[in-house]
């Protein structure tokens, strides 16, 4: 969890809290924009910036005017879930990743035979009935989250990427279902009753595959931050009345006296209480030459003691250390939006309703065309527009690139505070 309390002197001592929270239930950039609007409308919230690639939101708010519980309730009313964000990958996240992988494999195992039947064995008498049976698990199991999400947003008079997926795959399946049970109706109008079960199955499987790739990208970024966090010390030697006692680094308190020997990392930010030594501070300063430390000199946690022995007095521990601040800064930089991302978000916000209007216009246009196959062409045109217009890449490309690049840069010792500096580096 990342916390940063900000004192705004311009506003008579108002205390603001800046935190990074996790958001569940987002499926596209339009979801991210909606959550930003929900949070920004809450009294006491100064700013809210959603990072769709990382499924997180940075909120700056006055904790005397609004509570975290109230923010959770407002987000939940919009169909999403807001919760505390932790650095470590929890068992819940691991299970979520495994569940997504299982869903993908499940959908793939049924989609392949449906695709084969449609492309190469469609002339068989029972092929469309086999495709119907094989596509049902894909639609009802793997596609269930898309339909639930679309319905949930529809109740809020809102749309998102799942709306396009649900409309496209649902239309393809229902049209195929009608032609399977009542093929004579289409033949009566001189139209071959084609079925499109493979389209519905392939679309759902490909979107699940895309979500899997997104999760792998997020996992790589989490690993980068874990490597940063691993630079810290796990154990420390506490001096109590001259006796040495090994404790967890998380149990260190300000004013504790800590013993650090040659070759060990300094467990907390503080000052030298006793001893003379040389410390490698290159991870902080970039300077390769060791720094000499004497009583009264400041030392930084996670730096390496090269020679001698020191007794240090801890001053800053836990989330107040320099290392924790670096990790927090990297996380906040990943959550910031570049100028081009604001443009992408603005487009994504209106993208889905515009696509639906274009799809309906295509459908209506073909119905009014007078073509002998107008019903078939109207349906195919409508479904094609709905499916190919998925705005995932529009809202995901920039934040994912920023998130991964800042994480990799941090691994190499390069700290990026402002995402727009990446564009100025060209």
The model's pLDDT over 214-259, given as tens digits with 9 standing for 90+, comes to: 777 667 666 767 777 777 888 899 998 888 899 988 888 999 999 9
Domain 235-324 has CATH 3.40.50.2300: no
Q: Are 220 and 407 in contact (CB under 8 A)?
A: yes
Confidence band, pLDDT 50/70/90 cuts, at residue 7? very low
The mean predicted confidence, pLDDT, of the chain is 80
pLDDT digits (tens, 9 = 90+) for 116-130: 998 888 777 788 899
Percent of the chain exceeding pLDDT 70 equals 80
Confidence band, pLDDT 50/70/90 cuts, at residue 93? low
Residue range(s) occupied by CATH 2.70.150.10 in the chain: 235-324
**Is the per-residue pLDDT at 5 higher than 60?**
no
Q: Which of 49-53, 388-392, 409-413 has the lowest mean pLDDT?
A: 388-392
Which one, of 354, 294, 305, 302, lies nearest residue 323 by Cα? 302
Give the residue with greater pLDDT, 418 vs 302. 302
How confident is the model at residue 414, as a pLDDT?
A: 72
**Is the per-residue pLDDT at 211 higher than 50?**
yes
How confident is the model at residue 11, as a pLDDT?
A: 44
How confident is the model at residue 36, as a pLDDT?
A: 87
Confidence band, pLDDT 50/70/90 cuts, at residue 166? confident
Give the residue with greater pLDDT, 360 vs 283. 360
pLDDT digits (tens, 9 = 90+) for 314-354: 999 887 888 888 777 777 666 666 666 666 666 766 777 88
Token look-up 């991870």 returns: 283
Q: Which of 129-138, 168-177, 213-222 has the lowest mean pLDDT?
A: 213-222
**Is the per-residue pLDDT at 43 higher than 70?**
yes
User: Across the beta sheet with 298-299, what order do the strands follow?
Assistant: 243-248, 235-240, 257-260, 310-316, 269-274, 298-299
pLDDT digits (tens, 9 = 90+) for 359-398: 899 999 998 887 777 877 888 788 778 767 755 555 556 6
**Is the per-residue pLDDT at 208 higher than 90?**
no
Model-wide pTM > 0.75: no
**Is the per-residue pLDDT at 290 higher than 80?**
yes
Confidence band, pLDDT 50/70/90 cuts, at residue 2? very low
Residue range(s) occupied by CATH 3.30.70.100 in the chain: 14-84
**Is the per-residue pLDDT at 311 higher than 50?**
yes
Among the ranges 10-14, 181-185, 272-276, 377-381, which has the highest mean pLDDT value? Answer: 272-276
How confident is the model at residue 270, as a pLDDT?
A: 92
Which CATH class, in words, describes the domain spanning 14-84? alpha beta
**Is the per-residue pLDDT at 39 higher than 50?**
yes
HEC letters along the chain: CCEEEEEEHHHCCEEEEEEEEEEECCCCHHHHHHHHHHHHCCCCEEEEEEECCCCEEEEEEECCCCCHHHHHHHHHHCCCEEEECCCCCCHHHHHHHHHHHHHHHHHHHHHHHHHHHHHHCCCCCCHHHHHHHHHHHHHHHHCHHHHHHHHHHHHCCCCCHHHHHHHHHHHHHHHHHHHHHCHHHHHHCCCCCCCCHHHHHHHHHHHHHHHHHHHHHHHHHHHHHHHHHCCCCCEEEEEECCEEEEEEHHHCCCCCEEEECCCCECCCEEEEEECCEEEECHHHHCCCCCEEECCCCEECCCCEEEEECEEEEEEECHHHCHHHHHHHHHHHHHHCCCHHHHHHHHHHHHHHHHHHHHHHHHHHHHHCCCCCCHHHHHHHHHHHHHHHCCCHHHHHHHHHHHHHHHHHHHHCCCCCCCCHHHHHCC
Percent of the chain exceeding pLDDT 90 equals 20
Q: Which of 13-17, 235-239, 309-313, 317-321 has the lowest mean pLDDT?
A: 13-17
């Amino acid at each position: 969890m990342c916390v940063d309390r900000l004192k705004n002197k311009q506003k008579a001592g108002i205390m603001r809290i800046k935190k990074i929270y996790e958001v569940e239930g987002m499926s596209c950039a339009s979801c991210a924009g909606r959550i930003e609007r929900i949070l920004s409308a809450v009294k006491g919230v100064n700013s809210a910036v959603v990072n769709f690639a990382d499924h997180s939101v940075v909120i700056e708010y006055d904790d005397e005017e609004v509570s975290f519980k109230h923010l959770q309730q407002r987000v939940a009313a919009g169909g999403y879930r807001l919760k505390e964000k932790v650095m470590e990958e929890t068992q819940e996240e691991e299970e979520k990743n495994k569940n997504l992988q299982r869903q993908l494999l499940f959908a793939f195992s049924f989609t392949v035979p449906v695709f084969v039947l449609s492309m190469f064995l469609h002339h068989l008498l029972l092929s469309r009935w086999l495709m119907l049976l094989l596509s049902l698990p894909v639609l009802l199991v793997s596609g269930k989250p898309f339909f639930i999400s679309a319905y949930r947003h529809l109740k809020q008079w809102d749309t998102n990427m799942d709306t396009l997926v649900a409309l496209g795959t649902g239309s393809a399946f229902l049209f195929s279902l009608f032609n399977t049970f009542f093929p004579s109706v289409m033949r009566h109008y001189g139209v071959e009753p084609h079925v499109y079960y493979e389209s519905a199955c392939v679309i759902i499987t490909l979107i699940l595959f895309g979500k899997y790739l997104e999760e792998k990208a997020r996992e790589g970024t989490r690993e980068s931050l874990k490597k940063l966090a691993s630079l810290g010390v796990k154990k420390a030697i506490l001096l109590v009345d001259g006796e040495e006692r090994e404790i967890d680094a998380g149990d260190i308190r300000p004013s504790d006296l800590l013993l650090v020997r040659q070759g060990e990392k300094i467990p907390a930010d503080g000052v030298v209480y006793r001893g003379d030594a040389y410390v490698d501070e290159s991870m902080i300063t970039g300077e390769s030459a060791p720094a000499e430390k004497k009583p009264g000199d400041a030392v930084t946690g996670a730096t390496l003691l090269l020679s001698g022995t020191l007794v240090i007095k801890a001053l800053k521990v836990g989330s107040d250390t320099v290392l924790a601040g670096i990790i927090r800064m990297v996380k906040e930089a990943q959550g910031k939006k570049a100028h081009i991302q604001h443009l992408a978000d603005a487009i994504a916000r209106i993208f889905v309703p515009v696509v639906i209007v274009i799809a309906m216009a295509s459908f209506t246009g073909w119905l009014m065309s007078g073509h002998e196959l107008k019903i078939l062409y109207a349906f195919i045109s409508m479904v094609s527009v709905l499916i190919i217009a998925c705005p995932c890449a529009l809202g995901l490309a920039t934040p994912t690139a920023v998130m991964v690049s800042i994480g990799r840069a941090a691994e190499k010792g390069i700290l990026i505070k402002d995402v727009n500096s990446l564009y100025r580096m060209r």
